[in-house]
Structure 1
Amino acid sequence: MAATLESKLYEAAEEGDVTVLPELIRQDREIIQRKPEFTKQVDSKGSSPLHSASAKGEGRNPLHLAAMKGKVEVLKELVRVRPQAARVAVASGETVLHLCVKYAQFESLRLLVDLMNDHEIVNAKDDYGMSILHLAVAYKQIEIIKFLLSGTGVEVNGLNTNSLTALDVLAQSRRGLKDFAIAESLRDAGALKATEISHSRPRIVRSRTETTMPRFAQDVPTNQPAKREDWLTRKRDSLMVVASLMATMSFQAGLTPPGGLWQDGSIQAPQSNNIKDGSHEAGTSITAYRSQSYYSQYLAANTISFIASMSIILLLITGLPFKRRFFMWILTVIMWIAISAMAFTYRISLLVFTPKAEELNVTHILDYALVAWLLVMALLLLAHTIRLTVNIFRKVESVVGTKRKPQPSLSYTNSSNV
């Protein structure tokens, strides 16, 4: 009977059957109340029912299953009846919140965090020292990350067993399109890398119910150089992510030129369309045979984009002093060159795909769009250059003014004139 009741309880939690669940829980509690000696009996191996329940399913109870399946109504009922079940760890020391992150169940996570309102379980770590924030960053669960950073009491700069923070986990993970948004969210919450923690105090996202003092009085740094360094660090990380994506796109575009590659070789082709030679080799670019001009422009623009992106990555990892605005301005200019070259690559690719009858109209449209793009880029470059020049002149004027500042003179009064 007990085995049947247990299986029904698991099935109800997994399927989200809220009507059956309270009755099964009532029956389960009634058995324990009437026969409490059942909980103390052991089998031939010396295991009690509690040991068996913990061992079965890697320690997962019905509440864990409901959280993994996203059964929010079942979770509410289970937490109400058995709140201690939410604190039971499963295999590898994972909590129910870890399971919510692993199975991308945002609503389950949000419900449990709000119901439990416990700083310790929010920051609980598994056997590898991974908190739910570490795990959410590793799985690129940006919605969960933003929720955790919005005021749940999560430790932003907690370390795992490898002494890595959440920001370190992001840096070592596989590059993706969400990396930029995740890095911005972490940095805005005061996240640091492990190497930066020794120079700063720990940062914790304050709980929503915490009212000890205003957030701005706790978290906003008081010294201006620290704020500037934080801004430069965020911008450097953003440039690294974008440069990596640009380099990947340029590399892929170089291997797969528009128009494709010849799949066969030495087949006689008609002497037209500016084809210099009727024969061709397998694995070579079709566009290179049909339009040498387009192919040369495409290759040049794509190569510029690739080299510029790789240059940014190389400069960022060499350890040069890129904590100054001037060096960051140089990196930004290189990034603009890479993006502009990628825009030219896009233009040429479309012209290669366009039929000859529509090539003139498409060319006009693309040229207008390209001119508008270059105009915007030029204005941005001019604005940044002017701002940088003004800052340089202010610093020079401040240094020169300090050197030329007259020393206070001592006036001596003639005692005879007194």
Structure 2
Amino acid sequence: MERVFSLLYKAAREGNVTTLRQLLEQDSLILDRLIINNNGFSETPLHVAAMLGHADFVQEIITHKLELAKELDIWRSTPLHLAVAKGHLETVRVLLSTVDHELMSSIWDGEGRNPLHLAAMRGRLDVLRELLKVAPEAIWVNLKDRSETILHVCVRHNQLEALKFLVNNMDDYQIVNAKDDYGMTLLHLAVTNKQIETVKFLLINTKIEVNAVNASKFTALDILAQSQRSEKDFDILESLHSMGASRATDQPLPMDHQKPIKATTHHHHVHQKDKATTKPRNWLTRKRESLMVVASLIATMAFQAGTTPPGGLWQDSGFSSSKLSSPVSDENINNVMSIAHPPAYHFAGESIISYYNHHYYYHIYLLSNTVGFVGSLSIILLLVTGLPFCRKFLMWILTVVLWVTITAMTITYIIAIYVAAPGSDFWTTFYVTPILVITWGGVMLVIALLHTSRVFINLFQCFRNFIRRRRRQYNCTDVESSM
């Protein structure tokens, strides 16, 4: 008998219907004996075939012994649970013909999940549609001995498409705003798990209560405020604010509960204050510190470049041409220098290059260096004055100012190496300087294109959300008018 059972399980693993029929011809009661004594196996052959998606084998075995479809494995799962979890649509259809549709909602596995919960948890939309055709009432059943709905299951396992499908089939105010054992709504869970797309869907396409509180008296905005900051948090924050979200402490309190809630709020603030000492600094804080460091370095470099320009400063007063021609012994070169650089009286401490043919470049050098110096000082001044630079837009303005400042310092550097290079240095004049200009221009162009595309994407998303809100308001108006 043990050998026969082994052959039966092997046939189930392979989906071999011929072997199954041969075994049944040899012993027509083999499946009955299997139910009575499975000889230590943790599941029946039907469990194995259903898990592997052998629909023909499943059909053959339930034709001979229908009771096997109700047997449980060691995890208290039926063959239907396994087929649904694996997404075997044809096998699910075969097994559905054996299930009591009225009892399907209460066919729970060891984790308290019915087949619809499993389909939603795994995102098996085609299987979910098939189950709803057979037992649509099972969609309203919670997890066993818990207050968690099937929509909670979708959000907890980040199955947005399954959530959309179910909401379209059961967009009821009560079910959308249902709470689990901890008082968490779908919005609480989505914010906790940083699911920005789920948050937007719930806010725009459902009747979710944006300011509902959980068992700890926290709204979704409270939960967001307690989490570690990331870029997703700012998108979620904007979405919540656009729908009128608020903190629990900002909401009006009932008169008969003011004192106890006030005490709880005070305790919450104390707890938040203690927690703030250990909470990592958020993105905006790190951004401000980075801007301060970079601006300080640029200000230092610009000050140094302004006080010591290329070529240095005159150390005494006199005529510039004689100063240059005195060390040269060749008479012809002296004549050329006198023509190219007519005598001009200078004072000690003045820039040398401003007296020669580089005076035009010196003006550009001085202008770009001044722009870099003033721009960096402006950034430092704005950051240390304590102005509320806690918005991404204001921080974006400071970043643009920093771009201008860095570009000005780049121009200062290019002019400095160009002026300092000898006239015979062909490599610096015709290779290094153009390469620097082209490289920097390319970098700035790429950055500008990336940020421009991001702006257009954000504008498109805002426009799409606006259209969805208008459509939703229009639909609500039609429903109210029809009532």
Q: TM-score normalized by structure 2?
A: 0.44
Q: Which has the higher helix share?
A: 2
Point out the structure with max Rg over C-alpha: 2
